[in-house]
Amino acid sequence: MSVPGLISTYYDLDRDGKLDYMVIRKVIRKASAEETTIEQAIEIAKFDNLSVYFSHPVVFFANRNPLFYCKGVDSRHNCTNIWVDIAEDGLNGNEELYTLSTPSLGVR
């Protein structure tokens, strides 16, 4: 199975019924859900310090910390403000505001 790329997770932080926050993680690998139990997938994710997502028939293993953080999600699930964390080391202040029109020199 090939690595598919990115996986997004949406949140409703203020609990008003509308999505307002999103993170995007890089997918490291995936496995067949028919050959991997939920318990096995959780153990693998814990051992490798990864996040795990179940989507039958595939189990996705992604980096623990997101590559992108998005605050403000519109009705089409597009980001209003997005930050990139090249180090993927969690929210710690080294994230940079990211735009497609003026990418930062540190962004590859």
Going from N- to C-terminal start, the domains of the chain cover 6-97
Backbone angles phi, psi at 48, to 5 degrees: -95, 5
pLDDT at 75: 79
Q: What is the pTM of this model?
A: 0.80
- Whether the per-residue pLDDT at 1 is higher than 50: the answer is no
What pLDDT score does 50 carry?
Answer: 96
Residues 45-68 as b or e (16 or more Cβ within 10 Å = b): beeeebbbbeeeebbbbbeebbbb
**φ, ψ for residue 20 (rounded to 5)?**
-135, 0
- Looking at residue 84, its pLDDT comes to 94
Each residue's pLDDT tens digit, 43-77: 999 999 999 999 889 999 999 999 999 988 887 88
Residue 103 has pLDDT above 60, yes or no: no
Write the DSSP string, 53-66: EEETTEEEEEESS-
